[in-house]
Structure 1
Amino acid sequence: MSSLRAKIQDVFNEPACEQNRGKDAKARKKGCSKPLTPGAAAGGCAFDGAKIVLQPITDVAHLIHAPLACEGNSWDNRGAASSGPTLWRTSFTTDLTELDIVMGQGERKLFKAIREIKEAYGPPAIFVYPTCVTALIGDDIEAVCKRAAEKFGLPVVPVNAPGFVGSKNLGNKLAGEALLEHVIGTVEPDDAGPYDINILGEFNLSGEFWLVKPLLDRLAIRVRACVPGDARYFDIACAHRARAAMIVCSTALINLARKMEQRWDIPFFEASFYGITDTSEALRQISQLLVKKGADPEILGRTEALIAEEEAIAWKKLAAYRPRLEGKRVLLNTGGVKSWSVVHALMEIGIEIVGTSVKKSTVEDKERIKHILKDDNHIFEQMAARELYAMLSEDKADIMLSGGRTQFIALKAKTPWLDINQERQHPYAGYDGMVELVRQIELAIHNPIWRQVREPAPWDCQPAVREELPSTKSETATLHAVQEFAGTTADDFGEC
């Protein structure tokens, strides 16, 4: 537990964090993230954050040393995609019971589970995650993993990020620490080259990194390791031989990038693959960084040629959507890199941003937003559900882009909504991804269902009958009365 405490303190004092550098020594100890309220998950615990970063390593067995509910609540909660192995989709847990805890059988049960996974699946590595229960009862995860690795002849990696130690973002960083300590640098590649890079903080949600990788392939730039999207264990183990690195989500793995630069002289920069301009700038920075590390300068010319070709194609496709989207108002309720990269991307085609959330954004993210929007009035730290509903119901936005947790606010307000968080079904990265994002926004806004749901329901439009059906004494009189009533015109009905 003392080693875990030291790791947490080291992560909280992250020197590469601009926000942290601006604090005094006392404030720095509190870290970059807001502390958790006791008993609240605050959008995800540290264990959840560690699983988010490591589970997309697709050929690894991920073993949760905990009661069953811990794995059930965190398994497969991201839309990451794999081009090959599917072992990461299999859920492994030691399923501790009250009896195991009382009788002290946790460590023995963990060792047995590791052996069963090795014999049944033969993975290149097994990642072991303790949770609140096993951390509190004192199971020595690191000792068990070390013994199992020696016994079974494969890497068994302890990921010390029990949920109670902090937020999801802290768990992201602790996962990076586990990779640094037990994985990266453990294998020496025999094909290292001057055009090898690492991509950090890219999760390949809905397979969107597959829209970017072909661009790098055309420049003969090899992605040595993409952490964690569609990753393989041995690729990450060889990641220390890359020449440069790009961070897509700095709040998650900035500690990993900084320490890799210190240990192996791998310079890094932060950029985004969302939007045409940002994608082009990311490609330029990758090429420039590789040239500084010894690559042939001719790659700079090839990069500019590729950018010119791809931008021309993308802008031609977007031109068809501009007449139907220009001037439309978008409300963004997201965070992190999407809080500024998506803003920039949408403004490129004439969409107006009426608000963007910076709840999970860094100081650098907020500065980028201010530079792009040139107006602080459209930036909000966090908007309550009631305020979101009021803004949408008062027709201050034509569509809301957010995660699944707030979709029902938009639906209640009868406003178009599009998912841009981890549960989304469409990839939005790169040039083709930007075209797809605009296409989905256009489809959502102009979907005829919204016109229909905004109309009053038929049962709210009751006929205003001017007089009751007269009483009759004969069948003939009754027939005449029915015929007269049936001739009621539209003017006889009330307003809807």
Structure 2
Amino acid sequence: MSSLRAKIQDVFNEPACEQNRGKDAKARNKGCSKPLTPGAAAGGCAFDGAKIVLQPITDVAHLVHGPLACEGNSWDNRGAASSGPTLWRTSLTTDLTELDVVMGQGERKLFKAIREIKEAYGPPAIFVYSTCVTALIGDDIEAVCKRAAEKFGLAVVPVNAPGFVGSKNLGNKLAGEALLEHVIGTAEPDDAGPYDINILGEFNLSGEFWLVKPLLDRLGIRVRACIPGDARYVDIAGAHRARAAMVVCSTALINLARKMDERWDIPFFEGSFYGITDTSDALRNIAELLVKQGADPEILGRTEALIAEEEAIAWKKLAAYQPRLEGKRVLLNTGGVKSWSVVHALMEIGIEIVGTSVKKSTVEDKQRIKQILKDDNHIFDQMAPRELYAMLSEHKADIMLSGGRTQFIALKAKTPWLDINQERQHPYAGYHGMVELVRQIDLAIHNPIWRQLRKPAPWDCQPAVRQELPRTKSETATLHVVQEFAGTTAGDFGDR
């Protein structure tokens, strides 16, 4: 536990963050995330954050040492995609019970589980995750992992991030520390070159990174390791031989990027692949960093040629949507890097941003939003469901982009909604991803179902007043017969 405490303090003291450097020692030790409320871990605990960062490593066995519920609640927390191995989708847990805790069988059960995974799957590595229960009862997963690695001849990596130590963001960073301590630098690639890079904080949601990687391939840039999206263990083990790195989500793995720069001289920058301008800037920054690290300067010209070609294609496709979407109002209820990158991307085609959430954004993210929107009134830290509903029902936005948790607020307000968080089904990164995002917004806003849904219900409509026309003699006689018949009773018929 003392080693875990030291790691947490080290993560909070992050020199790569300008705001963190400006704090005093007491404020720095508190970190940037809000403390967890006991029993309210739905927003993500440290264990959940560590699992998010490491589970997309696709050929690794991920073993959760704790009760069954911990694995059940964290298994499908990201819609990452794999181009090959499927072992990462296999749910593995020691499934500790009350009897195991009372009898002190946790470590023995963990060792047995590692052996069974080795025999059944033969993975290149096993990641073992500590949880609240096993940390509180004092199971030494680091000692067990070390002994199992010696016994079975494979890498067994302890991930010491029990949920109670902090928020999901802290778990992200502790996962990066585990990679740095036990994985990165343990294998030497035999094909290292001057155009090798690392991408950190890219999760390949819905296969997004597969829209970006072909651009890098055309420039002759090889992704040594994408951490964690569609990653392989051996690639991450050799990631220390990259020449430059790009950090996609700084709140997750900024500590990993900084320490790799300190140990192996791998400079990094923070960028985004959302939107045309941001994608182009990211490609330029990658090329410039590689040149500074010794690559041939001719790559700068090839990069500009590629950017000009891809931007022309993307803008030609987007031209068909601009007349239909220009002036449309979008409410963004998301966070992190998307809070500013998607804002910039949408404004490029004339869409108006009426509000964006900065709930999980860093101070740098918030500053970028202010520079883009030029107005603090469109920025909110957190909006209650009632306020969201009021804003949408009053038609202050034409569509809301958010995660699945708030989709029913939009549907109740009869407002189009598009999933932009980790559960999304469409990739939105790169040039083609931007076109797809705009296409999905257009489909959602102009779906004819909304026109039908917003019509008043038949029982809410006032009945139309009919104009009485003069009746003929035969019609009048028929009416009298009907009225006379309506006034009769069953007894009348019985008497007859």
Which whole-Å deviations, capped at 9, do the CAs of 1:331-362 have from their partners, x for residues lacking one? 00110100000000000000000011111111
2:266 aligns to what SS in structure 1?
A: coil
Assess if the C-alpha contact under 8 Å between 1:36 and 1:42 holds in 2.
no
The Cα shift of 1:261 comes to 0.3
Q: 1:465 to 1:228 in 2, by over 3 A?
A: same
Q: 1:472 to 1:14 in 2, by over 3 A?
A: farther
For structure 2, list consecutive stretches of 5 or more residues without a partner in the other structure: none
Which whole-Å deviations, capped at 9, do the CAs of 1:169-225 have from their partners, x for residues lacking one? 000000000000000000000000000000000000000000000000000000000
Range 52-61 or range 23-32, more displaced: 23-32
> Residues of 1 paired with 2:160 and 2:454: CA distance?
51
1:33 aligns to what SS in structure 2?
A: coil
Q: 1:472 to 1:366 in 2, by over 3 A?
A: same
Which whole-Å deviations, capped at 9, do the CAs of 1:435-479 have from their partners, x for residues lacking one? 000000000000001111111122333647899999999999666
> Residues of 2 paired with 1:358 and 1:451: CA distance?
32
Assess if the C-alpha contact under 8 Å between 1:80 and 1:206 holds in 2.
yes
Assess if the C-alpha contact under 8 Å between 1:185 and 1:238 holds in 2.
yes
Q: 1:369 to 1:117 in 2, by over 3 A?
A: same
Which whole-Å deviations, capped at 9, do the CAs of 1:99-128 have from their partners, x for residues lacking one? 111000010000000000000000000000
Q: 1:479 to 1:40 in 2, by over 3 A?
A: same
Range 142-151 or range 18-27, more displaced: 18-27
Q: 1:476 to 1:15 in 2, by over 3 A?
A: same
Range 95-104 or range 455-464, more displaced: 455-464
Assess if the C-alpha contact under 8 Å between 1:462 and 1:494 holds in 2.
no
State percent identity of aligned pairs.
93
Which whole-Å deviations, capped at 9, do the CAs of 1:347-387 have from their partners, x for residues lacking one? 00000000111111111111111111111111111111111
> Residues of 2 paired with 1:145 and 1:333: CA distance?
41
1:200 aligns to what SS in structure 2?
A: strand
> Residues of 1 paired with 2:309 and 2:358: CA distance?
34
The Cα shift of 1:19 comes to 2.3
Q: 1:460 to 1:261 in 2, by over 3 A?
A: same
1:212 aligns to what SS in structure 2?
A: helix
What TM-score comes out, normalization by structure 2 length? 0.94
The Cα shift of 1:39 comes to 2.4
The Cα shift of 1:495 comes to 47
Q: 1:306 to 1:483 in 2, by over 3 A?
A: farther
The Cα shift of 1:34 comes to 1.2
1:494 aligns to what SS in structure 2?
A: helix
Assess if the C-alpha contact under 8 Å between 1:466 and 1:492 holds in 2.
no
Which whole-Å deviations, capped at 9, do the CAs of 1:56-110 have from their partners, x for residues lacking one? 0000000000111110011011100000000000000001111111000010000
The Cα shift of 1:33 comes to 1.1
The Cα shift of 1:26 comes to 1.2
Which whole-Å deviations, capped at 9, do the CAs of 1:392-418 have from their partners, x for residues lacking one? 111100000001111111011000000
Q: 1:6 to 1:301 in 2, by over 3 A?
A: same
For structure 1, list consecutive stretches of 5 or more residues without a partner in the other structure: none
Range 432-441 or range 12-21, more displaced: 12-21
> Residues of 1 paired with 2:12 and 2:168: CA distance?
13
Assess if the C-alpha contact under 8 Å between 1:125 and 1:156 holds in 2.
yes
Range 461-470 or range 357-366, more displaced: 461-470
Q: 1:71 to 1:481 in 2, by over 3 A?
A: farther
Q: Aligned residue for 1:106?
A: 106
Range 12-21 or range 175-184, more displaced: 12-21
What TM-score comes out, normalization by structure 1 length? 0.94
> Residues of 2 paired with 1:495 and 1:269: CA distance?
100
2:495 aligns to what SS in structure 1?
A: coil
The Cα shift of 1:41 comes to 1.3
Larger Rg: 2
The Cα shift of 1:486 comes to 17
| Paired residue total | 496
Assess if the C-alpha contact under 8 Å between 1:330 and 1:353 holds in 2.
yes
